[in-house]
Amino acid sequence: MQTAQPKIDISIARQRLLLKRGRKVLRSYPISSSRFGIGCEKESKKTPLGRFRIAEKIGDGAPSGTIFKARVALRPDDSLPETEDFITSRILWLDGLDEDNANTRERYIYIHGTRHEELIGTPASHGCIRMRNDDVIELFDLVEEGTPVIIRA
């Protein structure tokens, strides 16, 4: 008997990401969506809604806290300004599957780690789904490219 593929279900209202197989919740993580609200407009810094897939996984094996710039791992660096919205630890690059969110990949919308873990649970990102570094590393190891993702209000 074939086991159902895991899927990611994100609730903006609850600021929560669930990893599910069928109806069974495998993991539940707090997240941070955009502080600019929801939407698919280019350069809006809003979190898009709808159906997606993980198009690419970036950062396998990188140390927790590794900073990525243009999807290239730099290194963990505490000397960089805390005010910067760095992408850390892992990147799950999303590809929109609906007409409204088809520009998601070119908007560089990711599920990723953050240096601002204290803001997890509240809308604070610039469009992406932020997670705690340990959580995004665990999620990264549990999903494959092509994993379905849904983001709902």
Angstrom distance (rounded) from CA 153 to CA 148: 17
* pLDDT at residue 80 in the model: 59
Mean local confidence (pLDDT), 89-115: 95
Strand (E) or helix (H) holding 151: strand 148-152
Would you say residue 98 has pLDDT above 80? yes
Map residue 32 onto helix, strand or coil: strand
Q: For the chain, percent helix, then strand, then coil, each to nearest 5?
A: 10, 40, 55
Mean local confidence (pLDDT), 98-112: 96
Contact 94, 105 (CB under 8 A): yes
Angstrom distance (rounded) from CA 45 to CA 57: 21
* pLDDT at residue 2 in the model: 58
Angstrom distance (rounded) from CA 90 to CA 92: 7
* pLDDT at residue 123 in the model: 96
CA 6 centroid distance within chain: 16
Angstrom distance (rounded) from CA 110 to CA 87: 9
Q: Could you report how far apart the first and last alpha carbons of the chain are, in Å?
A: 34
Mean pLDDT rounded to a whole number for the chain = 91
Domains and CATH numbers, the chain: 7-152 (2.40.440.10)
pLDDT digits 0-9 by tens, 11-58 = 999 999 999 999 999 999 999 999 999 999 999 999 999 999 999 999
Mean local confidence (pLDDT), 85-93: 89
Share of the chain above pLDDT 70, in %: 91
* pLDDT at residue 77 in the model: 58
Would you say residue 124 has pLDDT above 80? yes
Q: Looking at residue 75, what DSSP letter applies?
A: -
